[in-house]
Each structure stands twice: as C-alpha cells, then as structure tokens.
Amino acid sequence: MKKDLHPSNYRLVVFKDMSNDYAFITQSCIDSKETIQWEDGNEYPLVKLEISHTSHPYYTGKMKLVDTAGRIDKFRNRYSKK
C-alpha cells in the first residue's frame, strides 16, 4: 500500500441531526468551526447534519416531507388558480 494515503488527524467528533436533535460521537477527520459539550463533560467539534439514520425515511419506515424552501406552497399557489 502507498504510504501517507489516509489522513492521520482522526479525532472524536460529534455529529448532530438537526431535524430531531439526535447526536452521536465517532472518530472523523472532518473540519468544524463549532464545538459542543458532550455527556462526558469534554468539548468536541460539532458537525450538523440535515438527516441521519434516525430521521431518514428508509430507516424509520415513515415518509417525512421536508420542505425548507417552500416549494410545495409555491407549486400549490401557482396551479390552484387553474
């Protein structure tokens, strides 16, 4: 294998699903400007997620409509006149 192929700056990082406030900690080398205090009292880098396994329809079995840009309302307003 090639040397120095993989990053060497792995550390504990908290990933937080913003749709349901579920958070988990794992090792990653992703950069983050935010930090959060974890349950053990230590501060870790924070990465915010829009969706995770706790909110994804495939894993939950529930269809959840996420409309952040108001596209559905725009569509209904545009075609409700006809």
Q: pLDDT 10s digit of each residue in the chain, 82 long?
A: 788 888 888 999 999 998 888 999 999 999 999 999 999 999 999 999 888 878 776 666 676 555 556 777 777 777 776 5
Residue 25 pLDDT = 95
Q: How far apart are CA 14 and CA 28, in angstroms?
A: 9
CB 17 within 8 A of CB 60: no
| Listed residue (51, 44, 5, 40) closest to 28, CA to CA | 44
| Report field, pTM of the whole predicted structure over 0.85 | no
CB 13 within 8 A of CB 30: yes
